[in-house]
Amino acid sequence: MYISKLSIRNFRNFRNISLDFQKGVNTIIGENGSGKTNILYALRLLIDENLPRNIRFYESDFNRSLNQWKGHWIIIQIEFSELDVSEEAQAIAMHKAGTMDEYDSTKGTYSLIFRPRENKRRELYECSQDLAASEVELQAILDSITLNDYELTYRGRGNTDFSIEENYRKYVGDFDKIAFPDPDELEDIYGIRLYGFSIPNELSCTFIKALRDVEADLRSYKDNPLLSLLRGKEKSIDVVKKDSITKKVIELNEEISELEEVRDISGGIANSIKQAVGETYAPNIEIKSEVPSEIERLLQSLKLWVGDSDEPDYKGRVGELSLGGANLIYLSMKLLEYEKVKALNKIANFLLIEEPEAHIHTHIQKTLFDKLHSHNTQVIITTHSTHISSVSKISSVNILSRSNKEALVFNPSNGLEPSRITALERYLDAVRTNLLFAKGVALVEGDAEQILIPVLFKKVFGISLDEIGVSLINIGSTGFQNIATLFHNDRVRKNCAIITDLDTSILELPKDEVSDNVEERAYRNSQKSGALRKNLLDNFCKDNNWVSPFYGKYTFEVEFVKAGNSFEVTQLVNKQYNREADKNRINGLLENNEVNVYGKEVLRLANSFGKGWFALMLEEHIDHLTYIPPYILEAIAFASPHVTNQTLYSIAKYRLKSLIKNKFESDKNDYSDLSQQFEANENSEKAIDFCIKKLPEDQLSKFIKLQKL
């Protein structure tokens, strides 16, 4: 028995989501604030017996994207699969209801429903039956609803998926069309109340919270996992040993109480009180040692003493350890506590772990994840660690992504063939897993692009690709399609730009390829490969709005010079070459207007130094006056439709200040005056429009226009 699906409706930052889970270990990844903690809390509300059943919900628990929360329902629904024939499991098994002719007794649902009470639901139903009902009448009913008019109910055997919009409108209500169901007719649709039967009591669920303040938890009586492990152990201690320890503690207390220093203090307090209130009213005072003699309380006084692995002879308090060391100990004890709970033979075992990566070395993160695969246990981990996600199976990953007032969920393996899933899992390492966390992705296939594109964007716009949420991934020898297939309406709904070259020949080739010399044949073969690549990518992206290819006509180095950046390359030449004759000759070729001249020379330089090293050397000569090649600017604009006006405002401010300090000699703009006018606009949107109007040919203006296409 395991959780195969979790659906959440209108709860916190989730308007309407579904997560699919597999047996074994499942990973939920996402950026900060995407709702990872809320997912685990939603699960715990249904399966963790340590949480009370009479949970209170507040207005803030309703999703903020609702026009108004009143009248709407919060629904958290779990689907279980592979139920056995036990009475406990069958209590939540699917059953015949509505129009269903068959049911699957190996599947079951358990739901939390927070909804208006029956009298308010009836008012809504009667309003919808009134042919003359208006939005005003509906609003009057909704306005009268308070949280006191809501009820919380837990139900099993439901057979309706409320994450399907049609079902929600039909069985909860269509607020736009003023259509609400009769509360007397549909109770079976929502499932049956499990009177006298508690599903959480039949499950073992251990929750390991995010490791942020472990030292405080280890000092706490409530949250200390050591106390949980020790609880009940006093019952198994031999009676003779128990009596011997108790006797020794009593004797110790008496010995401490009889110390002369202790008796002096006791007498001093007694005399002070008598002098203050007199003999008649003064209480009798005595100081006694109270080391607990009960075995249970003695065990509760035990504390962990630990030492680092490289100092085996020294042990100290937990506070002396590094944060990572303390986290490891806490995590280990919680896992041991889980094994203790698991041994109670419940019908299913669940282990929920929240962000285990805090302060833990990357090698330990991976090792920990590998060892979590446990027999007969379903593990659900939330993380924003690329190291944990890199060893997670794509088929057991759910991706959370922030959106406007709600979070979205993506399943990266949905609809893919098993062989394709396996290939992706082998490919994704800790670096490339960044693409699962990004808001947008740009794929490249060369070291030069990987090195220079982020530098170009940072120097030209004053902000990094990371800051706008775009991951640039070098796919190496892997085909673009193998990775880009992740980005699809059925899987990860984020924009993915493919940046590649057509490798068009910079030489004019003979009409008859039989006439090619060795050099021309090489250029022709590259050109053919580029044309084939374009055909394949165009077909691959044709019906997918989330992926788009962007082509440079020639190779990246040639496109860089073609964009107007011969100056940057000549600066590199001046630094790397000593002889003036060499400098003059090379720079003369680079500044030539013919692509077969400057293109051939820049490729010679790149190949001579090595393309990656050439890019690294070129990096230091790039500044805000460097031009980003148009196809690359288009690709980044496609990958970042989420960029806000505030971010664009910051970029514009940076560009204007940079141009005040340094501009082209031919540029007649007064950037000091433009900067003052820009900042005088009342809001960021108007300031950006001003920038586009006054500087239509600036790279930022072009970037913004591309985003709006």
Domain match, 183 and 282 both:
no
328 versus 503: the higher-pLDDT residue is 503
292-319 tens-digit pLDDT: 767 767 666 666 666 555 556 655 555 5
In this prediction, residue 275 has a pLDDT band, given cuts at 50, 70 and 90, of: confident
Is 141 part of any domain? yes
Mean pLDDT of the chain: 86
Which ranges of 348-446 would DSSP assign to H, the alpha helix?
Answer: 362-371, 386-390, 418-427, 434-437
Q: What is the mean pLDDT of residues 689-707?
A: 95
Angle formed at CA 537 by CA 532 and CA 543, multiple of 5 degrees: 140
Residue 472, helix vs strand vs coil: strand
Same domain for 265 and 136: no
- Residue 151 covered by a domain: yes
- Section 642-661 average pLDDT: 95
> In this predicted model, which residue has the larger pLDDT, 341 or 703?
703
Q: What would the mean pLDDT of 620-643 be, rounded to a whole number?
A: 97
- What is the band of 272 on the pLDDT scale with cuts at 50, 70, 90? confident
Q: Is the pLDDT of residue 189 over 90?
A: no
pLDDT band at 370 (very low <50, low <70, confident <90, very high): low
The answer to whether position 625 is within a domain reads no
Q: Higher model confidence: residue 98 or residue 311?
A: 311
Contact 292, 301 (CB under 8 A): yes
**Higher local confidence (pLDDT), 353 or 5:** 5
The confidence score (pLDDT) of residue 439 equals 93
Final residue of a domain: which of 303, 338, 360? 303
CA distance 45 to 78: 11
The 10s digit of each residue's pLDDT in 527-555 is 999 999 999 999 999 999 999 999 999 99
Give the pairing type, strands 305-306 and 316-317. antiparallel
- pLDDT at position 101, please? 46
Once rounded to an integer, what is the mean pLDDT over residues 321-344?
Answer: 65
The pTM score is 0.81
Residue 289 has pLDDT above 90, yes or no: no
Whether residue 112 lies inside any domain: the answer is yes
Confidence class for position 97, pLDDT limits 50, 70, 90: very low
CB 256 within 8 A of CB 293: no
Give yes or no: residues 188 and 59 share one domain. yes
Range of weakest confidence among 319-328, 474-483, 500-509: 319-328
Q: What is the pLDDT of residue 246?
A: 81
DSSP β-bridge partners for residue 16: 9
Residue 430 DSSP class: T
Kindly report which listed range (2-16, 253-267, 273-287, 615-629) carries the lowest average pLDDT score. 273-287
**100 has pLDDT over 50:** no
Neighbours of 389 (CB within 10 A): 25
Domain membership flag for residue 384: no
| Residue 73 CB partners (closer than 8 Å, separation 6+) | 9, 10, 113, 114, 115, 116, 172
Within this chain, do residues 134 and 193 fall inside the same structural domain, yes or no?
yes
Q: Kindly state the tokens that stand for 654.
A: 């940076």
More confident residue, 211 or 599: 599
pLDDT at res. 98: 42
Instruction: For residue 443, give the amino acid letter.
Output: L
Q: In terms of domains, do 279 and 177 share one?
A: no
- The range of the structural domain enclosing residue 529 comes to 416-557
Residue 138 confidence (pLDDT): 94
Residue 16: Cβ within 10 Å count? 20
Q: Taking 70 as the threshold, does the pLDDT of residue 693 lie above it?
A: yes
Q: Are 190 and 58 within one domain?
A: yes
Query: 271 and 184 in one domain?
Result: no
Q: Does one domain contain both 674 and 547?
A: no
- Predicted pLDDT at 210: 75
Check residue 228 and give its pLDDT.
66
Higher pLDDT, 375 or 255: 255
Helix axes 447-461, 699-707, angle to 10 degrees: 110
Which region, left, alpha or beta, applies to residue 24 given φ > 0 means left and ψ of -120 to 50 means alpha? left
Residues with Cβ within 8 Å of residue 254, at least 6 apart in sequence: 289
pLDDT at 369: 60
Instruction: Return the pLDDT at 103.
Output: 63
Q: Which of 484, 621, 586, 491 is nearest to 539 (CA)?
A: 484
Residue 453: CB atoms within 10 A of its CB come to 24
HEC string for 177-243: CCECCCCCCCHHHHCEECCCCCHHHHEEEEEECCCCCHHHHHHCCCCCHHHHHHCCHHHHCCHHHHH
Q: Which long-range contacts (CB under 8 A, 24 or more apart) does 600-609 make?
A: 600/506, 600/507, 602/557, 602/558, 602/560, 602/561, 602/569, 603/506, 603/555, 603/557, 603/558, 605/557, 605/569, 605/572, 605/573, 606/448, 606/557, 609/576
Residue 596 lies in a domain: no
Residues 473 and 422 in one domain: yes
Q: How confident is the model at residue 257 (pLDDT cuts 50, 70, 90)?
A: confident
What is the DSSP secondary structure assignment for residue 93, as one 8-state letter? B
Question: Which uninterrupted H or E stretch holds 150?
Answer: strand 150-156
| pLDDT score for 133 | 75
Look at residue 327 in the predicted model and tell me its pLDDT.
64
Q: Which two tokens stand for residue 611?
A: 């393309």
Among 118-132, 212-226, 439-453, 620-634, the range scoring the smallest mean pLDDT is: 212-226
- Which of these three, 303, 335, 359, is where a domain ends? 303
188 and 274 fall within a common domain: no
- The per-residue pLDDT for 12 is 95
CB-based contact 704:688 (threshold 8 Å): yes
Kindly report, residue by residue over 342-362, the tens digit of the pLDDT.
667 788 888 888 887 655 555
Asked whether residue 331 is domain-assigned, the answer is no
pLDDT of 190 reads: 87
Q: What pLDDT was estimated at residue 535?
A: 97
How far apart (Å, rounded) are the C-alpha atoms in residues 499 and 432? 16
Q: Tell me what pLDDT residue 99 has.
A: 40
Q: Report pLDDT for 426.
A: 80
Number of domains making up the chain: 4
Ranking 13-27, 386-400, 481-495 by mean pLDDT, the lowest is 386-400
190 belongs to a structural domain:
yes
* Domain-ending residue, one of 557, 587, 603: 557
Task: Give residue 490's identity as a one-letter amino acid code.
Answer: D
Q: Are residues 466 and 548 in the same domain?
A: yes
Residues 183 and 233 both lie in one domain:
no
In the prediction, which pLDDT does 538 show?
Answer: 97
